[in-house]
Amino acid sequence: MNAIVRDYDQLVKQYYGIEPTLAQKEVDERLDIFKKVFPILAVCRLKSSKIKNGESAFKILDKLHDIQVQISKLEAVEQTPEISEYLLFLKEKEFKFEEKAYDFCYKKKPVFPLLKKGKVEKSVFYKKFDKRFNKLVAKVRSEDIYDAEDIHQIRVDFEKFIYIVEILFSIEKIDESKLQKLKTYQDKLNEIFYYDLLICGINKFYKKRKPNEVPDTEAWELEQDALIVDFDNESNNFINACQDVIRINKSSDTVSNETQSTGIFVATNDMTGAISI
């Protein structure tokens, strides 16, 4: 499992190499590394709190990211009076969160724990991997997908699943194109979530500051609904893609005894369930 430790060290090095700014690109890069590091620590039976200042930095950066995403989308559309007013509010809010996040670029820069080679137990990783996959499939199959709340729960579980898959890249031979296919679905789920941020954000803004007025969010809601319907229609293909990325040939030399005992899922012909090898 030294490959995982090597990848972890590379992620830490990348984090410290990010430009000390709070532009959206750098904020996204920091969040992405945190989300990749957290499951690695979990496999090593270490809590995320072992990253000094890490949890606090992540929470602030995550909130800043949500604000910056909304600003980016609003700046790309026609500036109606209500959009301009909400955009101004968001930029003021962005400035406040940048002040909070600034310390985590300089004074309180996160300090990541050292991982010792040979300390990562492969069986622990596969158990967590199977758990994430089962939870994701159960969520998608549990009920019809009707609204952004349903999508959000799937999005959260899927994001955790993808980062586990990326760890698997360190120890198994996986076609990278399959991971890219998963990331396409991740982009679609994120787009639905970003619309929800906008719709909920501007409604909350008006409810607090202009309780007698109702913002026009119909266009965003229609676009969001169309994306939700598309994802619901693709749910079986989505599950297939998740199963396909972790399909392992029984006769492959890369399949260890640990792999077989902990259970890596492969696709079944009728897709009614998952079986372990």
pLDDT tens digit sequence for 195-234: 999 999 999 999 999 889 889 999 999 999 999 999 999 9
Q: Is the pLDDT of residue 266 over 60?
A: no
Residue of higher predicted confidence among 181 and 126:
181
Exposed/middle/buried for residue 197 (C-beta within 10 Å: 0-12, 13-18, 19+): middle
- Exposure pattern of 116-140 as b/e (b: 16+ CB <10 Å)? eeeebebebbbebbbebbeebbebb
pLDDT tens digit sequence for 62-117: 999 999 999 999 999 988 888 999 999 999 999 999 999 998 888 899 999 998 87
Q: φ, ψ for residue 276 (rounded to 5)?
A: -105, 150
Those residues whose C-beta lies under 8 Å from the C-beta of residue 109, and which sit 6 or more positions away, are 16, 53
In the chain, the amino acid numbered 40 is: I
Q: Is the pLDDT of residue 277 over 80?
A: no
pLDDT at site 18: 94
In the chain, the amino acid numbered 110 is: P
Residue of higher predicted confidence among 127 and 23:
23
Those residues whose C-beta lies under 8 Å from the C-beta of residue 57, and which sit 6 or more positions away, are 30, 34, 101, 104, 108, 110
How far is 277 from 130, CA to CA, in rounded Å?
12
Q: φ, ψ for residue 52 (rounded to 5)?
A: -60, 125
Q: Are 63 and 22 in contact (CB under 8 A)?
A: no
Which tokens belong to 100? 């909070």
